[in-house]
Structure 1
């Protein structure tokens, strides 16, 4: 058989495989979306796996077929759940395509995670802005109203006055509104971390080769983060941030993100220290969980992050061995 005919046949087989698997992924997405929209109890479970078809497909095939799957999924989501379902398809679809494309290039695990998180964050920002513009919704006003009603209800149930003054409540609301960008950033990264945790094992079983994340104890953030933090704190001394100003919004958002980075660095050091001392893995995990409700422990871990970045505690510990 002539070589050209063999090549032509292999191309047709490959094209058929791409189309067949694309149709299969589209069907899986349709089922998951229908569960997410119409089945109340397990809707959250369905939403956790909406990313999976896009991740698997884009990890196996190039951008052209992957974007074709996304376009079909957006159209199908409109048919299944109406306009409300379209943002879901776009959000999970684009995030899955980015992560799958990076996996296909055999990128490092942290690069895949960062790429997916940034795409998810971009979707959150665009959809938040679109909701405000289309529906004339002020989330700041809604949050303020809900918080004040909650405080009043709590006061009524307990039979006591609200433990906060009106001025303190307004200050808290202003702060929450100001750090909304930072909250969206944290939400995006935490959500993608959850999504990769539940979807990666399935993707691996279906033949997707994924580079694992390096152990958390090896995470080392750039030392420049510490300098940015110190410069920001020094700048706040000379130019006092006043609520309602642009400088205040920039200050609280950047401070929130830098403090989160220092906390991650400190938590990584806790895991490193526990590993070096051969402690049970449950100890650093317990410290991480307790640091959420116990603010002093959170401050301590953040301080460890500052010291680790500034004085390279890990290097000093390794030299003493």
Structure 2
């Protein structure tokens, strides 16, 4: 009976998250959308799973329109993938990567189908969104504030083009974030329901491969020495996405080192959290370089030995 009421409660949570997709809250709630369906798929049979989510789909379609069903179907696929891996008690890292990879592949398929069958142009769509966002400021162009905010059409086109070129980096980071959030919430919740699944290694012990440094150096050299033809071509798009992606990974490594030091020195956990916040929101302080040093040199061994 407890499990039954628990599954019903998660069905209600799923419905609320679906409804939030039609609101500005979707920017935040989308990162939690996989959690209820992953939990339901992991603890229920396939038939019971459908009996729990189909009513939520029907109610969401009635309240927000049938278009929301497409969004629900998009996110149900990675939920099933991760839920199936949880049932098989697959390693946590594999589960997270498979979930993120499924989200990426789905987006590419949707983009391909939209482009081929419906003549959808992503660059034009982004440009239209920027134009729509700038319309209120055009009405106040005579004021000092409006003149400083309003962009020219050429600037808007350049920004939309850059946004499209950076789309792979954005998608990879967002997919990993959604999958990681799902893992962080689902694993302990499933444990409380009696389904024990593997957990990720402690964050303070994460070590990324040293080869990432070489990839980063090669990308920097290509960016510095490459001409305009390379920067504007396919290779330039790869470099444009690879450099911030590697920097993002170095930030993760630096954050891991912060928590490792705090654990070894028995510091208050607030200190590494504050350092991570500074690293993320104050880019003028390139603390992510600490992540490169942590990968390249045995800093952790030195910290451990100095403690002794």
TM-score by length of 1: 0.73
Q: Closer, same or farther in 2 for the Cα pair 1:31/1:133, shift >3 Å? A: farther
Alignment pair present for 1:173 and 2:156: no
Q: Counterpart of 1:147?
A: 130
Looking at CA atoms only, which structure, 1 or 2, has the larger radius of gyration? 1
Equivalent position to 1:258, from 223, 227, 246? 246
How many residues of Structure 1 are paired with residues of Structure 2 in the alignment? 294
Q: Closer, same or farther in 2 for the Cα pair 1:240/1:311, shift >3 Å? A: farther
Q: Counterpart of 2:97?
A: 114
Uncovered stretches (5+) of structure 2, i.e. residues with no partner: none
Q: In structure 2, how many angstroms separate the alpha carbons of the residues matched to 1:119 and 1:137?
A: 22
What is the RMSD of the two structures over their aligned residues, measured on CA atoms? 3.8
Q: In structure 2, how many angstroms separate the alpha carbons of the residues matched to 1:80 and 1:58?
A: 19
Q: Counterpart of 1:12?
A: none
Q: In structure 1, how many angstroms separate the alpha carbons of the residues matched to 2:146 and 2:73?
A: 47
Equivalent position to 2:170, from 167, 180, 183? 183
SS of 1:274's partner is helix
Alignment pair present for 1:207 and 2:190: no
Q: Counterpart of 2:290?
A: 304
Deviations 1:194-231 (A, max 9, x none): 33344444333222213332221111111111111112
Q: Could you tell which deviates more after superposition, 282-291 or 170-179?
A: 170-179
Contact persistence 1:33–1:47 (CA under 8 A): no
Alignment pair present for 1:220 and 2:214: no
Q: In structure 2, how many angstroms separate the alpha carbons of the residues matched to 1:133 and 1:165?
A: 31
Offset, 1:186: 0.8
SS of 1:295's partner is coil
Q: Closer, same or farther in 2 for the Cα pair 1:317/1:238, shift >3 Å? A: same
Alignment pair present for 1:84 and 2:71: no
Offset, 1:183: 0.4
Q: In structure 2, how many angstroms separate the alpha carbons of the residues matched to 1:294 and 1:140?
A: 30
Q: In structure 1, how many angstroms separate the alpha carbons of the residues matched to 2:220 and 2:23?
A: 46
Contact persistence 2:82–2:99 (CA under 8 A): yes
Contact persistence 1:32–1:47 (CA under 8 A): no
Alignment pair present for 1:104 and 2:90: no
Alignment pair present for 1:279 and 2:267: yes
Contact persistence 1:70–1:94 (CA under 8 A): no
Alignment pair present for 1:292 and 2:280: yes
Q: In structure 2, how many angstroms separate the alpha carbons of the residues matched to 1:217 and 1:254?
A: 25
Uncovered stretches (5+) of structure 1, i.e. residues with no partner: 1-20
Deviations 1:250-300 (A, max 9, x none): 111222222211121122112222222222111111222232321123x2x
Q: In structure 2, how many angstroms separate the alpha carbons of the residues matched to 1:159 and 1:205?
A: 54
Q: Counterpart of 1:9?
A: none
Contact persistence 2:279–2:288 (CA under 8 A): no
Q: In structure 2, how many angstroms separate the alpha carbons of the residues matched to 1:239 and 1:72?
A: 55
Q: In structure 2, how many angstroms separate the alpha carbons of the residues matched to 1:148 and 1:177?
A: 16
Offset, 1:303: 0.7
